[in-house]
């Protein structure tokens, strides 16, 4: 009940706190966010180039497709914009396949998991992580495990009937993971941009907190970065709500209302930036100056409902 009450007060206070934002720190955060998007596109292009060495995917369409998908992720649940990224790049690469492109994009997700887990371990080892809150409903664990086992059994039965199709999909996806089989190439064309993007993202959170006059260190910004990424997997557009819960846990040094208001303000600001960049990317990719036409084209090409 205390947390819910904090949500109500925090959301109401978010607009007020936005008026107190320090524009200097906000400007730095904006520059870092744009750099973050560009570096992520460069990393994805490296994975795509390994999957399609003869096609030599150009950076411009890959960056535009990535930006468009990021913009959609703010409004579609469970990172639904990823499908748009794949579909838009497929339209730019003749002879390409959805499983291969999706697997190349999954390379970034795998590296995200490694970096995120490494940061969590480092923060735990240094005693930065706050105490875990009590988790209700532990009795649901056996039921969830049973449901998971049942789901695996269903998948196993389906796999027997769709074995040939699954072989083709797995083979195509393996091409998308080609960069992981070449550590040297991965270290040259993916990892530097990926790690730099993570550094920029942590910097975004750090300077947004400073803009909201919340004095924290880089370790807290790193924790919030990892948690906000995990929150986007929740089947709610932009991870709304889950991000605020995690922010309250991470920012235990300030009040619940203040933590929620800062989290809401940060999420709103990033949503505006990502949407604007995504719309610009779609307009450039589809060669139109009309936002409505770009949105219709984006929906058609990405086969979104």
The pLDDT assigned to 136 comes to 43
Taking the C-alpha atoms of residue 180 and residue 177, their distance in angstroms, rounded to an integer, is 6
- Concatenated DSSP letters for 259-270? HHHHHHHHHHHH
Per-residue pLDDT reduced to its tens digit, 250-284: 787 777 777 888 888 888 889 999 999 999 998 99
Domain ranges of the chain: 2-131+153-302
Give mean pLDDT, residues 74-78: 73
Give mean pLDDT, residues 59-82: 86
**Count of other CB atoms within 10 angstroms of residue 139:** 7
Per-residue pLDDT reduced to its tens digit, 182-218: 999 999 999 999 999 999 999 999 999 999 888 888 8
Specify the length of the chain in residues.
305
- pLDDT tier at 128, thresholds 50, 70, 90: confident
Q: What sign results for the dihedral spanned by CA atoms 154, 159, 160, 165? A: positive
- Smallest Cα–Cα separation from 101: which of 169, 197, 35, 165? 169
- Smallest Cα–Cα separation from 123: which of 250, 20, 293, 6? 250
Chain centroid to CA 268: how far?
A: 15
Which of 58-67, 72-81, 166-175 is predicted least confidently? 72-81
Model pTM greater than 0.85?
A: no
Predicted confidence (pLDDT) at residue 86 exceeds the cutoff of 60: yes
**Burial of residue 9, with CB atoms counted within 10 A of its CB: 0-12 exposed, 13-18 middle, 19 or more buried:** middle
């Amino acid at each position: 009940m205390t947390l819910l009450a904090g949500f109500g007060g925090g959301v109401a206070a978010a607009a007020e706190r936005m008026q107190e934002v320090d524009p200097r720190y906000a400007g730095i955060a904006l520059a870092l966010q744009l750099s973050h998007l560009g570096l992520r596109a460069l990393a994805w292009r490296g994975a795509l180039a390994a999957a399609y060495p003869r096609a030599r995917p150009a950076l411009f369409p890959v960056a535009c497709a990535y930006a468009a998908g990021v913009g959609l992720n703010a409004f579609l649940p469970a990172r639904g914009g990823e499908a748009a990224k794949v579909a838009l790049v497929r339209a730019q690469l003749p002879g390409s396949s959805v499983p291969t492109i999706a697997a190349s994009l999954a390379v970034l997700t795998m590296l995200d998991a490694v970096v995120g887990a490494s940061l969590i371990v480092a923060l735990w080892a240094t005693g930065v992580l706050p105490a875990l809150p009590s988790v209700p409903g532990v009795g649901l664990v056996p039921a969830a495990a049973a449901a998971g086992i049942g789901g695996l059994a269903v998948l196993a039965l389906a796999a027997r009937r769709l074995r040939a199709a699954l072989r083709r999909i797995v083979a195509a996806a393996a091409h998308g993971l080609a960069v992981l089989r070449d550590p040297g190439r991965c270290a040259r064309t993916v990892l530097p941009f990926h790690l730099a993007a993570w550094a920029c993202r942590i910097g975004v959170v750090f300077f947004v907190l400073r803009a909201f006059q919340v004095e924290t260190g880089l370790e807290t910004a790193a924790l919030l970065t990892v948690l906000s990424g995990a929150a986007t997997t929740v089947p709610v557009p932009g991870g709304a709500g889950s991000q605020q819960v995690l922010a309250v846990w991470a920012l235990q040094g300030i009040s619940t209302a203040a933590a929620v208001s800062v989290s809401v303000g940060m999420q709103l600001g990033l949503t505006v930036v990502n949407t604007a960049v995504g719309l610009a990317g779609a307009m450039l990719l589809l060669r139109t100056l009309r936002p409505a036409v770009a949105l219709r084209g984006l929906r058609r090409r990405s086969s979104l409902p």
